[in-house]
Amino acid sequence: MPNSCCPGRKGITLWFTGLPCSGKSAVADRVTDILKSKGFYVERLDGDIVRQDLTRDLGFSKKDRDENIRRVTFVSKLLTRNGVIVLTSFISPYKEMRSHARTQIGSFLEVYVKCPVGVCMERDVKGMYKKAIKGEIKEFTGVSDPYEEPENAELVLETDKETIEESVGKVLTKIEELGFI
């Protein structure tokens, strides 16, 4: 629903979910750049950045991960209802919390960034997967903590089979078809 400051602009949250190093941030960053260059109101909420300020008090237990997503959902809801296109990139491993985000935000598009764990490990420049396998990182999604795959994502990006530009194109096409751009 448009608001008085942004006539004709409808907000939506694009919720990028997937394993660590699946390509969530890379695709979301590129879509953000394109949308901003076209004059859209866009905000990026990225897991690594949000944890530096908004959720720095949280760890990686299930309880803390759920609280992290609850806070991000609240911020996304506020931005979305004010005509902003919000692109989030969070592992958000649990179906229940993604469902909660969808319900709370309303104008919501789940983007599953699907990539095999082996490919994610190859892309891991920080060495997180190796540390998790050695037991140096506890509760690491895809190794010692589960990732519950989305069953009904509106969009699935297979970043091991398509280029970043192909993935970006799929996102832009989808939000155009839905009338947000």
Cβ-proximal residues to 108 (8 Å cutoff; 6+ apart), any chain: 12, 13, 15, 80, 101, 102
Structure tokens at 111: 């983007």
**DSSP per-residue codes, 135-173:** TSSSS-BTTTB-----SS-SEEEETTTS-HHHHHHHHHH
92 as an active site residue: the answer is: yes
Q: How far is Cα 25 from Cα 90, in angstroms, rounded to an integer?
A: 8
Contact call for residues 175 and 181 (beta carbons, < 8 A): yes
Contact call for residues 152 and 111 (beta carbons, < 8 A): no
Q: How far is Cα 164 from Cα 160, in angstroms, rounded to an integer?
A: 10
Structure tokens at 152: 């009904």
Which residues face 46 on adjacent strands?
89
Name the catalytic one among 25, 76, 89, 92: 92
Active site amino acids:
92
